[in-house]
């Protein structure tokens, strides 16, 4: 995925691989952050499909940029 492909839709859902392309963090650290409430909670779309609301990820990126959240 190139830098030009790292755009978020205005709303909808985003999968973990796309989030990790935007936020440089390991899967295990991401899941720990979700568990502790530091990162947004996932949404189960099906028995084996997990995603996050794009609005929540946009908000997280803004808060990371302002230094309000550490990862």
pTM for the whole structure: 0.85
Q: What is the DSSP letter of 51?
A: E
- Give strand ranges (E) for the chain: 13-14, 43-46, 49-53
pLDDT at 70: 79
* Residue 55 neighbours by CB distance under 10 Å: 15
Q: What is the DSSP letter of 50?
A: E
User: For the purposes of burial, counting CB atoms within 10 Å of the CB of 64, is it exposed (0-12), middle (13-18) or buried (19 or more)?
Assistant: middle
Tens of pLDDT, residues 42-61: 999 999 999 999 999 999 99
Is there a domain that residue 70 lies in? no
- Does 27 or 69 have the greater pLDDT score? 27
Number of domains the chain is built from = 1
Is there a domain that residue 35 lies in? yes
Q: Of 53, 60, 59, 49, whose CA–CA distance to 25 is shortest? A: 60
Domain, as residue range, for 18 = 10-65
Tens of pLDDT, residues 1-44: 444 456 888 899 999 999 999 999 999 999 999 999 999 999 99
Is there a domain that residue 56 lies in? yes
């Amino acid at each position: 995925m190139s830098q030009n492909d790292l755009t978020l839709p205005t709303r909808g859902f985003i999968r973990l691989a796309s989030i990790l392309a935007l936020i440089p963090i390991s899967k295990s650290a991401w899941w720990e952050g979700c568990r502790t409430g530091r990162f947004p909670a996932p949404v189960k779309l099906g028995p084996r499909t997990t995603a996050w609301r794009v609005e929540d990820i946009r908000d997280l990126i803004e808060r990371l940029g302002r230094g309000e959240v550490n990862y």
